[in-house]
Amino acid sequence: MITQVKNLWHERAINSHYQTALAVRDELLEGDIEEAIEGIEELIEALSRSDRRELNSQLVRLMMHIVKWQSQPAMRSRSWLASISNARVEIEMLLEAEPSLKVLVAELVDSQFERAKRLAEIEMGRKSQVNSLTFSEVFEQEYSL
């Protein structure tokens, strides 16, 4: 029975954070504190996964454009600069909202590099000679035309 309850909360949290919050509220109004706690725990996990996915997505997009920037100097454009800047801002805002994610960033730069490189190569239509990116290249280096 406990597993079924956990699975129900898990499914709710995956499908809708809002609906999960409403269901938790309903459990609290009915006085079922234990059930509400289960719902809150699943909602916290779901929100954490969502934030990590967003961080991964923005980081891959950022690194993909940096790989393209380094691989094709003649193709550099304002659009690439805008994408690099925008991804940095999105990551900065996410980290401000969820400071606990800061400890993951350096690890994700390493673990997501190959994915970013693969996507850059698809967009470029050729292999890249870039074999890694440093934290500085990703977050600190100034890129300009």
- Mean predicted confidence (pLDDT) in 83-87: 96
Average per-residue pLDDT for the chain: 88
User: Whole-model pTM?
Assistant: 0.73
- Mean predicted confidence (pLDDT) in 9-26: 80
Residue 56 resides in a domain: yes
Residue 144 resides in a domain: no
pLDDT band at 53 (very low <50, low <70, confident <90, very high): confident
Question: CA-CA distance, 15 to 66, in Å (whole number)?
Answer: 34
Residue 51 resides in a domain: yes
Residue 32 resides in a domain: yes
Residue 124 resides in a domain: yes
Q: For the chain, what is the domain count?
A: 1
Residue 52 resides in a domain: yes
Query: Terminal CA-to-CA distance of the chain, rounded, Å?
Result: 62
**How many other CB atoms sit within 10 Å of the CB of residue 80?**
18
Residue 86 resides in a domain: yes
How far does CA 128 lie from the centroid of its chain?
Answer: 24
**How many other CB atoms sit within 10 Å of the CB of residue 42?**
22
User: Residue 89: is its pLDDT beyond 80?
Assistant: yes
- Mean predicted confidence (pLDDT) in 12-24: 80
User: Residue 2: is its pLDDT beyond 60?
Assistant: no
Residue 145 resides in a domain: no
- pLDDT tens, residue by residue, 91-143: 999 999 888 888 889 888 989 999 999 999 999 999 999 999 999 999 999 99
User: Residue 3: is its pLDDT beyond 70?
Assistant: no
Range of the domain at 105: 2-139
